[in-house]
Chain A
Amino acid sequence: MQYHAKLPEENPNVSHQNPIKEFFSLLAGLVAIVLFIYWILGFFIDSAVEYISPEMEMTIFESLGEDLVATDNADRSDEFKQTEQQMRVLLEELTQCMDVGYPIELIFQESQQANAFAAPGGKMVVLSGLLKHVESENGLAFVIAHELGHFKNRDHLRGMGRGVVMMALSFLATGNMHLSKVLMPVNAFQNAQFSQSRESDADESALDIILCHYGHVSGATEFFSKISHPEADLPFTHYFRTHLQAKERVKAIEDLSRDKNYVKSEVKPAFW
């Protein structure tokens, strides 16, 4: 019997496909699916939010809110508490113009930062750093009215729902903590686009509230003009911002006031 020693010319045990092409085509497929699911879920979440009545939200988040905004009354000065009280009066007046369906509690917190946010359960937090950047009552009123707009549109619920669902989806799809990080920019992009449109809606609601309460819209853009400073931008980062840049925001608000023929007049001085 003869033994023929020979090597096969072609190796049939491996696929001859460019690994980079394979990687990108798989990644593109996965990103497309994730985007599609996000889009569909967006519809479901939006309709679900309509069904969560304000009362339901209050009961769910009552306990959460306690921990979120724990305030230590002992440290606050009388002046501080008085400013908070005046802000609460302002909020009450603004609520006459747009009813959000449940009582909103305003909490004034000491902080270097200039910001205000809406938390589920009907709590609005205003940080004291904000007061350094507004000069008139109207400016502050716009910020509060903007947060009221968010409450009215239930934006915080929508955002929270989407965030949780997307993280869960990315993890399920890839089954791997590291790979789900690859999908992070996709999530951030979708989140930002969703957020920007919500912020514009809230700005629009805020303008309506201000007009209703004061009769004019002067002072609305005060805060944004003051904090507007050009930030060094890497290309494409503006797609991932949850808010528009301050300058763009000012312009958008001005355009909106002009389109709706809102008048301007004298602003009320600051009460702090």
Chain B
Amino acid sequence: MFLTNIEEVPGKKITACYGVVSGSTVRAKHVGRDIMAGLKNIFGGELEGYTELLTEAREQAILRMQNQAEQLGANAIVNVRFSTSSVTAGASEIYIYGTAVTVE
């Protein structure tokens, strides 16, 4: 499935459109990551635990959006946008939305 964040899939023509599809996950960290982050706050550096957490969450959100698009019969999603926010202490929500289309 094609995913782009521009208006079209370059080199292909859009033949049908199915509306907006979206995927979201809300993920929590666990105590281990929290403790590592606390230590990093003292020493500085990349919080690998959190990066990993958010990467996994993003991948899951993308999969869910593709799933929804497939259910509608699309084979590409254009104009994809991401959004991250914290909805509760220690957890973050990732959602991704775009327009599902069929391209040829």
Contact = CB atoms under 8 A, between A and B. Distances in A.
Does a CB–CB distance below 8 Å link A and B in the complex? yes
Interface string A1-32: 11111101110110000000000000000000
B24 A4 contact: no
Interface in B4-37: 14-19, 21-25, 31
A165 interface: no
Interface in A141-190: 173, 175
Contacts of A3: 16-19
A8 B15 CA distance: 20
Nearest to B70: A8
B23 A13 contact: yes
B31 A8 contact: no
Contacts, number: 42
A2 B31 CA distance: 50
**Chain B, interface size: which category?**
20 to 34
Interface in B60-84: 63-64, 67-68, 71-73
A8 B71 contact: yes
Nearest to A176: B89
B64 A12 contact: yes
A270 B104 CA distance: 105
Given A12-B23, A13-B23, A4 B73 contact: yes
B68 A2 contact: no
A118 B14 CA distance: 84
Contact of A10 (B14, B21, B71): B71
A13 B71 contact: no
A2 B16 contact: yes
Contact of A13 (B22, B72, B73): B22
Contacts of A5: 18-19
A151 B16 CA distance: 84
B71 A1 contact: no
A8 B14 contact: no
Contact of A12 (B15, B67, B73): B67
B22 A4 contact: no
A6 B102 CA distance: 14
Contacts of A12: 23, 63-64, 67-68
Interface of A: 1-6, 8-10, 12-13, 173, 175
16 contacts: A1-B17, A2-B16, A3-B16, A3-B17, A4-B16, A4-B17, A4-B73, A6-B72, A8-B68, A8-B71, A9-B71, A10-B71, A12-B23, A13-B23, A13-B25, A13-B64
Given A12-B67, A12-B68, 12 more contacts: A1-B15, A1-B16, A1-B17, A4-B72, A5-B18, A6-B19, A6-B72, A6-B73, A8-B68, A12-B23, A13-B22, A13-B25
